[in-house]
């Protein structure tokens, strides 16, 4: 795992977007795993504003609410259209989200796994982190070997996401279809971005805490190619921050990105 502590929230967002953009330039036909949430809105804005090319890539989103049709303004399908897909040159036939409207959610979940496999697997998976320590919607006690399936959302998560539902947690769907932790760990590379003081504690538990299904994000410690990009507030509770800064400062590969670090 590589921790990249950035100078500011804008720098953490810019670094994330630049690393994705660089991968798209190097391998335009890559399979990109996408995430949602307020943090990612800034990443997508940076990519769209800077003219990143998506014309040959395929995307898979981490999750979708159960019971919201793609044209529902709070669905993740609508989120992706508004924040990214409608703003870049992506072929919409190559974008995938789990089908939260499926009559048979088990079948939809297996179909999603099959689509990922048919695309050759995910090359780079973008991740945020929820207050409950989740990646995707892998709520506490999600098995590290779990696959795409529907999960009940914790009260913490419904409270956290209430902002997108007029501030009313009761309007946040009760369930979501999400890639499993095991699905996520099979991606070739992971980039987790976290910003803000509200994420500091859960980031420390994910990065430095014990591997535990209570914090599904701690599973990223098992991944051989995982970057964690943080703004100063989200990095504030890390015990070994001096060591992470030392490594980052001495790795020449980060020289092109020094402005942000």
Binding site for ligand GLP (CB under 6 A): 35-39, 62-63, 128-130, 136-137, 157, 161
Q: Which is nearer to ligand GLP, 39 or 58 (CB)?
A: 39
**d(Cα 61, Cα 33) in Å, to the nearest integer?**
6
Give every CB contact of residue 122 below 8 A, 6+ residues apart in sequence.
Answer: 31, 32, 33, 60, 116, 186, 187, 188
Long-range contacts of 171-175 (CB under 8 A, 24+ apart): 172/65, 173/65, 173/66, 173/67, 173/68, 173/100, 174/66, 175/65, 175/66, 175/67, 175/150, 175/151
Q: Which is nearer to ligand GLP, 63 or 113 (CB)?
A: 63
Q: Which is nearer to ligand GLP, 53 or 175 (CB)?
A: 175
Q: Which is nearer to ligand GLP, 188 or 196 (CB)?
A: 196
In the complex, minimum distance from the CB of residue 261 to ligand GLP, in angstroms, rounded to a whole number:
21
Give every CB contact of residue 243 below 8 A, 6+ residues apart in sequence.
Answer: none
What's the longest Cα–Cα distance across the chain? 53
Q: Which is nearer to ligand GLP, 5 or 98 (CB)?
A: 98
């Amino acid at each position: 795992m590589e921790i990249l502590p950035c100078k500011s929230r804008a720098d953490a967002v810019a670094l994330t977007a630049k690393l994705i953009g660089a991968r798209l330039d190097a391998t335009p036909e890559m399979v990109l795993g996408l995430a949602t949430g307020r943090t990612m809105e800034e990443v997508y804005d940076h990519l769209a504003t800077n003219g990143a090319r998506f014309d040959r890539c395929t995307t898979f989103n981490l999750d979708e609410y159960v019971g919201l049709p793609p044209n529902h303004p709070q669905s993740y399908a609508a989120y992706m259209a508004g924040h990214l897909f409608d703003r870049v040159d992506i072929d919409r036939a190559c974008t995938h989200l789990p089908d939260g409207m499926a009559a048979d959610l088990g079948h939809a979940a297996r179909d999603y796994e099959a689509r990922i496999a048919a695309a050759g697997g995910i090359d780079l998976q973008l991740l945020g982190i929820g207050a409950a320590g989740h990646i995707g919607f892998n709520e506490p006690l999600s098995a590290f070997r779990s696959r795409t399936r529907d999960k009940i959302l914790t009260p913490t998560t419904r409270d956290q996401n209430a902002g997108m539902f007029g501030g009313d947690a009761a309007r946040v769907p009760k369930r979501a279809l999400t890639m499993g932790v095991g699905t996520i760990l099979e991606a070739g590379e992971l980039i987790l971005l976290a910003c803000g003081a509200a994420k500091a504690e859960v980031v420390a538990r994910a990065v430095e805490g014990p591997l535990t299904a209570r914090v599904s994000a701690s599973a990223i410690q098992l991944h051989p190619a995982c970057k964690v990009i943080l703004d100063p507030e989200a990095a504030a509770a890390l015990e070994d921050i001096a060591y992470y800064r030392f490594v980052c400062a001495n790795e020449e590969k980060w020289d092109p990105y020094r402005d942000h670090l």
